[in-house]
């Protein structure tokens, strides 16, 4: 179903990131709906919608982040609850699309989990998905319903420029898979591009030694979509320093942050780490070198444009 201004919009915040949902509501001018989310004694999720939303355009905010399985199930149950209220449309807003690293079969008998999540969402009767910085562009093709793919490139670029972190700088892709994302930021900031020649970014043993491009005497800005263990950032910073980079900054959208990220992100070769609030960051990962930018205004403005049947392209 398409949204239009004759139907009242309303936002429901699930448990994964309520602070971001509140910012999105404020930026979009849409009210936050009333719902109750509990668990039965055996851990099953129980949801009730505490007001009438018949005929409304509903926007559900949920990141599929740790605990990913609970948050995914909570989202699917909420979609089903909304579907049974005779809402006009169900729009699912996913600031962080979990399970996104499995987009193709890398070996025999392997699942394509990112496609499975898309199937779940479509079969649950979602009408539209709004996602932020998907790990792989092909995920958009997994959906047969409208998907609005937002990105934080402008937000990151403006921060880097305002803080003069782009002075005498070069933008760096931490591996060959991330070149397109890094090039977008480099073009915005009118900076050169370099690549860490990481031939096996998923390996915990492989350490890259070469850089494609010139980083000597320059500040290096590593661009990526997510940090999980932080190892890729650490080895990238180490090899950049070995090749003469002055300071190394990391600008990454999603702070997924597994437990061992604390040690890797505190590496002396990383001067500053810039992330967004697409995922709530536990206190144990916070530090003086971590800067968090909010995507609340970006997503809120996107929802307002979608509700008014306007293009989101103006945001980028």
Task: Assess whether 144 and 184 both reside in one domain.
Answer: no
| Per-residue confidence (pLDDT) for residue 6, from 0 to 100 | 76
The count of structural domains within the chain is 2
Write down the pLDDT at residue 1. Answer: 44
Which positions ≥6 away from 191 have C-beta within 8 Å? 166, 169, 170, 171, 185, 221
User: What's residue 24's pLDDT?
Assistant: 98
Query: Do 108 and 62 belong to one domain?
Result: yes
Mean pLDDT of 246-251: 97
Please give the distance of CA 169 from its chain centroid, rounded to a whole number: 25
Would you state the pLDDT for residue 203? 67
Distance CA 282, CA 261 (A): 12
Give the Cα separation of 232 and 223 in Å (integer). 11
- pLDDT in the model for residue 225: 95
As a whole number, mean pLDDT of residues 148-162 equals 96
Residue 4 belongs to some domain of the structure: no
Q: Domain for residue 2, yes or no?
A: no
The closest alpha carbon to 97, from 37, 17, 25, 39, belongs to 17
Distance, in Å, from the CA atom of 147 to the CA atom of 170, rounded to the nearest integer, reads: 32
> In terms of domains, do 129 and 31 share one?
yes
What residues contact 80, with CB distance under 8 A and at least 6 apart?
124, 125
CB burial string 282-291: b at 16+ within 10 A, e below? eeebeeeebe
Residues 218 and 131 in one domain: no
The confidence band for 105, taking pLDDT boundaries of 50, 70 and 90, is: confident
Residue 278 lies in a domain: yes
CA-wise closest residue to 151 among 298, 9, 306: 298
Per-residue model confidence as pLDDT tens digits over 21-34? 999 999 999 999 99
Same domain, 277 and 304: no
β-bridge pairing 272-276 and 290-293 = parallel
Q: What is the pLDDT at residue 171?
A: 98
* Same domain? 72 vs 189: no
Q: Are residues 210 and 264 in the same domain?
A: yes
Q: Are strands 211-212 and 193-196 parallel, antiparallel or unpaired?
A: antiparallel
Question: What spatial distance separates the first Cα and last Cα of the chain, rounded to whole Å?
Answer: 25
**Residue 3 forms part of a structural domain:** no
Q: What is the CATH number of the domain that holds 137?
A: 3.40.50.2020
Residues constituting the chain: 316
Provide, rounded to the nearest whole percent, the portion of the chain with pLDDT above 70: 97
What per-residue confidence (pLDDT) applies to 129?
Answer: 97
My answer on whether 90 and 121 are in the same domain is yes
On the question of pLDDT at 3 being above 60, the answer is no
Q: Give the structural domain span for 28.
A: 9-151+296-315
- Residues 188 and 234 occupy one common structural domain: yes
Q: How far is CA 298 from CA 17, 23, 87, in A?
A: 16, 10, 25
pLDDT, residue 5, reads 53
Rounded CA gap, 267 and 263, in Å?
Answer: 7
Please check whether residues 271 and 300 belong to one and the same domain. no
**31 within some domain:** yes
> Does residue 146 share a domain with residue 28?
yes
Q: Say if 119 falls within a structural domain.
A: yes
Q: What is the pTM of this model?
A: 0.92
307 and 203 share a domain? no
Q: What is the pLDDT of residue 313?
A: 82
**Domain-located, residue 237:** yes
Is residue 311 situated within a structural domain?
yes
Helix (H) / strand (E) element for 238: namely helix 231-242
């Amino acid at each position: 179903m398409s949204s239009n201004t004759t139907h009242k919009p309303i936002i429901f915040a699930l448990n994964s990131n309520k602070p971001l949902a509140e910012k999105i509501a404020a930026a979009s001018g849409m009210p936050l709906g009333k719902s109750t989310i509990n668990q039965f004694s055996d851990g099953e999720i129980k949801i009730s919608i505490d007001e009438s939303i018949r005929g409304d355009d509903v926007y559900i905010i949920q990141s599929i982040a740790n605990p990913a399985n609970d948050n995914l199930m909570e989202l699917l149950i909420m979609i089903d609850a909304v579907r049974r209220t005779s809402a006009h449309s169900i729009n699912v807003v996913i600031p962080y699309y979990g399970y996104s690293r499995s987009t193709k079969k890398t070996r025999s008998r392997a699942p394509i989990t990112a496609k499975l999540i898309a199937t779940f969402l479509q079969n649950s009767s979602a009408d539209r998905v709004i996602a932020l910085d998907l790990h792989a562009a092909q995920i958009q093709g997994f959906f047969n319903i409208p998907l609005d793919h937002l990105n934080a490139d402008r937000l990151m670029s403006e921060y880097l420029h305002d803080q003069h972190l782009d002075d005498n700088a070069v933008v760096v892709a931490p591996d060959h898979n991330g070149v397109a994302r890094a090039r977008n930021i480099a073009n915005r900031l009118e900076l050169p591009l370099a690549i860490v020649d990481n031939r096996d970014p998923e390996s915990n043993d492989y350490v890259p030694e070469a850089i494609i491009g010139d980083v000597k005497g320059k500040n290096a800005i590593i661009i990526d979509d997510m940090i999980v263990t932080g190892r890729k950032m650490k080895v990238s910073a180490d090899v950049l320093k070995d090749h003469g980079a002055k300071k190394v900054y990391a600008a990454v959208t999603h702070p997924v942050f597994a437990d061992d990220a604390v040690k890797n992100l505190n590496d002396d070769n990383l001067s500053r780490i810039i992330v967004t609030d697409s995922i709530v960051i536990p206190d144990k990962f916070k530090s003086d070198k971590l800067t968090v930018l909010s995507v609340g205004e970006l997503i809120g403005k996107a929802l307002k444009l979608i509700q008014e049947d306007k293009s989101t392209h103006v945001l980028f």
